[in-house]
Amino acid sequence: MTVAVVLLSGGLDSTTTLAYALSKGYDVVALTVSYGQRHSRELESAKAVAKHYGLKRHIVMDLDLSFLRTSALTCPDVEVPLRDSAEGIGDDIPVTYVPARNIIMLSLAAGLCETEGGEVIFIGANAIDYSGYPDCRPEFFEAFEKVLRVGTKSGVEGRPIEIKAPILRKSKAEIVKLAKELDAPLHLTWSCYKGGKRACGHCDSCLLRLKGFEEAGYSDPVEYEAGP
Ligand SMILES: [Zn+2]
């Protein structure tokens, strides 16, 4: 069995990506990074999802990124922007952008993958219904694969680690449909940036998620404070 590291945040996208990796028969090591995100509620979701699948290896690591003080996700002084509809999301890079987050996450996953003799890293990035983050675009992943080819032992020895982002070019509705096909435990996931008891329904992440469920023709099993 080929070992794959799956970056698991506990949200809709990474849970669907995990379900996909398992459906393809990979021996999965899940990696969840607790980086001081405001929505630390998603860590509980990541643990619940890993438990749901009975993953033998789920690494939850603490990494204090609170010094990244320009991001609404890591700095309590920066407000998470709220809006009434998904219109306009992705036009500009929003303050929920965490500086270099996917470079950091993929670097950690690469170290783990090489240690475990793995060949693949799965990441639930999406470049269609997304917030406009530069590190969620196809050209970033292509460039990072190049980094792995030249910057790791496995790479220079001819066994480069591959990055798979199976939902990169899917709409949120297509992601929801894929998750349903794979019977992913969507009721356990958490996408809201705010991290209260219930999802807020007004942050970009909630709005994109709600739009995806609506367009896919399903109701979202998580509870919301208020819909858009
Ligand atoms: Zn929200």
The mean pLDDT of the chain is 92
- Spatial separation of the C-alpha atoms in residues 47 and 56, rounded to whole Å: 12
- Spatial separation of the C-alpha atoms in residues 184 and 182, rounded to whole Å: 5
Asked if the model's pLDDT at residue 93 lies above 60, the reply is yes
Look up residue 89 and give its amino acid. I
**CA 61 to centroid of ligand 1, rounded, Å:** 24
Confidence of residue 177 (pLDDT cuts 50, 70, 90): very high
**CA 3 to centroid of ligand 1, rounded, Å:** 34
Confidence of residue 33 (pLDDT cuts 50, 70, 90): very high
Specify whether the CB–CB gap between 104 and 7 falls below 8 A.
no
DSSP 109: H
**CA 83 to centroid of ligand 1, rounded, Å:** 10
**CA 175 to centroid of ligand 1, rounded, Å:** 18
Out of 30-39, 72-81, 122-131, 154-163, the most confident range is 154-163
| Residue pLDDT, tens place only, 194-204 | 878 899 999 98
**CA 161 to centroid of ligand 1, rounded, Å:** 34
The domains of the chain, with CATH numbers, are 3-216 (3.40.50.620)
**CA 42 to centroid of ligand 1, rounded, Å:** 12
pLDDT at site 86: 85
| Residue pLDDT, tens place only, 123-171 | 999 988 777 889 999 999 999 999 999 999 999 999 999 999 999 999 9
pLDDT at site 114: 97
**CA 135 to centroid of ligand 1, rounded, Å:** 21
Asked if the model's pLDDT at residue 228 lies above 60, the reply is no
Asked if the model's pLDDT at residue 37 lies above 80, the reply is no
Confidence of residue 66 (pLDDT cuts 50, 70, 90): confident
- Residues 96-116, mean pLDDT to the nearest whole number: 95
Residue with the larger pLDDT of the pair 67 and 52: 52
**CA 203 to centroid of ligand 1, rounded, Å:** 4
Other residues' Cβ atoms within 10 Å of the Cβ of residue 92 = 10
pLDDT at site 95: 83
**CA 190 to centroid of ligand 1, rounded, Å:** 9
- Spatial separation of the C-alpha atoms in residues 113 and 102, rounded to whole Å: 15
Asked if the model's pLDDT at residue 185 lies above 80, the reply is yes
Closest-CA residue to 84 (of 197, 196, 202): 202
Strand partners, 61: 33
**CA 46 to centroid of ligand 1, rounded, Å:** 17
Asked if the model's pLDDT at residue 227 lies above 70, the reply is no
Confidence of residue 104 (pLDDT cuts 50, 70, 90): very high
> Which spans in the chain are helix H?
12-23, 41-52, 101-115, 138-151, 153-156, 172-181, 204-216
**CA 174 to centroid of ligand 1, rounded, Å:** 20
- Residues 214-220, mean pLDDT to the nearest whole number: 96
**CA 54 to centroid of ligand 1, rounded, Å:** 28
**CA 40 to centroid of ligand 1, rounded, Å:** 13
